[in-house]
């Protein structure tokens, strides 16, 4: 729940910034007569939508286990991340389509100075929002927030294309506007596809990374009484990990002594590896 509160607070801050930025871009687009800035403004509008989805995703995924979801709700977050990835892909495709149509139709304008200023402000604000969101996302291990951070950066990249296009148009090279828009749209689509497959990876059970596995082994072998690790299985569950470990102990130990060792292994793994949600330890007496 603490991670959910941190993520929600960060998301509300970026939503507020995006609302002001979107309104400013809309005004600059109409006053400055810039179709590129208008597209950029709608991109910011899409950012607001994705951040709302992030907040919903954090709220749902932070819920504890219940009767219908005995293992918790962590896997709901990559579901929302997939949705945001699709929005990223759609946004990139929309910008690319508009840029392509402007290129072949010859619909090339010479925007006013306010549109150029708005693009410059957008680059600075959106890049700052990217770094703020990505730091929080890494801290709370949220793929949905990480995807949202890249949506902020895609908007910054879009604004760079818009800035260059508007600058080129004002200098008389009007074709730069749609060309820059096409390049930016391809980059946005690429980012969206990458995060779509990253979300799928979190939805499908797969083992933890080698660093986590080695840490589990080190912790286990440091417990006095453990003679061997017979079997070790891990699986991801959203941004958490389940571990099943089978250990052997001296066959001369009593059942009570063996269970105390197994309990120490269980407690040490869950206490020292924050990503472990649950650890199941099985005990096998060593045969003489």
**DSSP annotation string for 237-252:** ETTEEEEEEEEEE-TT
Considering the domain architecture, whether residues 145 and 232 belong to the same structural domain is answered as: no
| Residue (of 177, 234, 203) closest to 32 by Cα position | 177
d(CA 71, CA 91): 34
Mean pLDDT score, 213-237 = 88
Mean local confidence (pLDDT), 121-132: 92
Backbone angles phi, psi at 247, to 5 degrees: -115, 160
* Confidence category of residue 205, pLDDT binned at 50, 70, 90: low
Structure tokens at 230: 């017979």
d(CA 164, CA 159): 8
How far is it, in rounded angstroms, from Cα 24 to Cα 118? 7
Mean per-residue pLDDT, 271-279: 83
Q: Which residue has the higher pLDDT, 92 or 127?
A: 127
Take residue 131 and report the two structure tokens written for it: 């770094």
Say if residue 123 is in the same domain as residue 7.
Answer: yes
- Which percentage of the chain shows pLDDT scores above 90? 10
pLDDT of residue 71: 59
Q: Are residues 185 and 220 in the same domain?
A: no
Residues 196 and 169 in one domain: yes
Q: Same structural domain for residues 161 and 23?
A: yes
- Of the two residues 184 and 249, the one the predictor is more confident about is 249
Output the CA torsion sign for 195, 200, 206, 208: positive
Which domain covers residue 84, as residue numbers? 2-203
Whether the Cβ atoms of residue 148 and residue 50 lie closer than 8 Å to each other: yes
Q: What is the mean pLDDT of the chain?
A: 81
Check which CATH number belongs to the domain holding 129 and give it. 1.20.1510.10
The mean per-residue pLDDT over the stretch 242-253 comes to 85
pLDDT bracket for residue 64 (50, 70, 90): low
Q: Which of 170, 203, 236 is the last residue of a domain?
A: 203
């Amino acid at each position: 729940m603490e991670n959910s509160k941190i993520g929600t607070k960060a998301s509300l801050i970026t939503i507020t910034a995006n609302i002001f930025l979107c309104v400013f871009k809309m005004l600059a687009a109409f006053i400055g007569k810039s179709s590129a800035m208008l597209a950029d403004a709608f991109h910011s509008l899409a950012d607001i939508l994705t951040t709302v989805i992030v907040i919903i995703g954090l709220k749902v995924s932070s819920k504890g286990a219940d009767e219908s979801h005995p293992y918790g709700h962590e896997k709901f977050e990559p579901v929302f991340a997939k949705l945001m990835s699709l929005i990223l892909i759609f946004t990139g495709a929309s910008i690319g389509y508009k840029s392509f149509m402007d290129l072949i139709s010859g619909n090339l304008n010479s925007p006013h100075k306010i549109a150029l200023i708005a693009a410059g402000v957008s680059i600075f604000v959106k890049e700052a929002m990217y770094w703020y969101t990505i730091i929080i996302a890494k801290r709370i291990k949220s793929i949905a927030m990480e995807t949202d951070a890249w949506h902020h950066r895609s908007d910054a990249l879009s604004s760079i294309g818009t800035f260059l296009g508007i600058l080129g148009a004002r200098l008389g090279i009007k074709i730069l506007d749609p060309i820059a828009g096409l390049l930016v749209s391809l980059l946005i689509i690429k980012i969206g596809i990458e995060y779509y497959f990253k979300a799928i990876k979190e939805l499908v059970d797969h083992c933890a990374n080698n660093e986590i596995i080695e840490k589990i082994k080190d912790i286990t072998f440091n417990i006095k009484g453990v003679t061997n690790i017979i079997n070790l299985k891990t699986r991801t569950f959203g941004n958490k990990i389940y571990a099943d470990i089978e250990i052997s102990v001296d066959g001369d130990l009593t059942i009570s002594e063996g269970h105390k060792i197994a309990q120490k292994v269980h407690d040490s793994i869950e206490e020292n590896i924050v990503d472990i949600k649950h650890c199941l330890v099985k005990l096998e007496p060593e045969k003489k």
